[in-house]
Amino acid sequence: MSNEANAAAPDAAPTPPDAAEAHVPDEPRRDFLIKLSLGLGGVAALAVGVPVVSAVLAPLLQKNPQAWRKVGTLTDFPVGSTHLVKFENADPVAWSGVSSESAAWLRRDSETTFTAFSVNCSHLGCPVRWEQGAGLFMCPCHGGIYYKDGSVAAGPPPQGLTQYKIRVNGPHDVELLTAPIPITNITS
């Protein structure tokens, strides 16, 4: 009786064939899913990272294009007068609209020489106005004041007004050397 029982015991609790067989194919599937997750994670990281890195590096690698722009003719600027002149930036993009334009205060110092300053205050960029009577540039935003030569007279501006190069091209045309906004590193 006991021999019969012992002989029957192995048959009483056999390993389910389905479970044993199902365990084997799980590993390749798990490996596949891990690799798929890593691959998708890498693609997602690239999709997010490439634009971010490009946005950070692009301004560092970009050249500052400049271009001469005509702002008038000699007869437009009597000697000793100061005028607000507008011009298109050197590298406007198609969708920039009015932001593709800049302006400068242009003074004719003599028959052959001009001085031009950016209208943008060096503090936070508000447009300054020229006060002929006082001989000063005034910023309406925080009270910044500049002398006639563009240097700071009072207020918060950390430095003088940015100066543009000017030339007379041909017999009459007065031209200004532009730069992209924000204007940097231009001195006459």
Of 4-12, 94-102, 137-145, 160-168, the window that binds ligand FES (rule: CB under 6 A) is 137-145
b/e for 126-161, b at 16 or more Cβ within 10 A?
Answer: eebebeeeeebbbbeeeebbbeeebebbeeebeebb
Binding mask 156-175 for ligand FES (x = CB under 6 A): xx------------------
Nearer to ligand FES, 116 or 121 (CB): 121
Among 103, 141, 168, 186, binds ligand FES (CB under 6 A): 141
Q: How many CB atoms lie within 10 A of CB 183?
A: 20
Among 53, 124, 134, 154, binds ligand FES (CB under 6 A): 124
d(CA 170, CA 19): 92
d(CA 118, CA 184): 11
Which residues contact ligand FES (rule: CB under 6 A)?
121, 123-124, 126, 139, 141-142, 144, 155-157
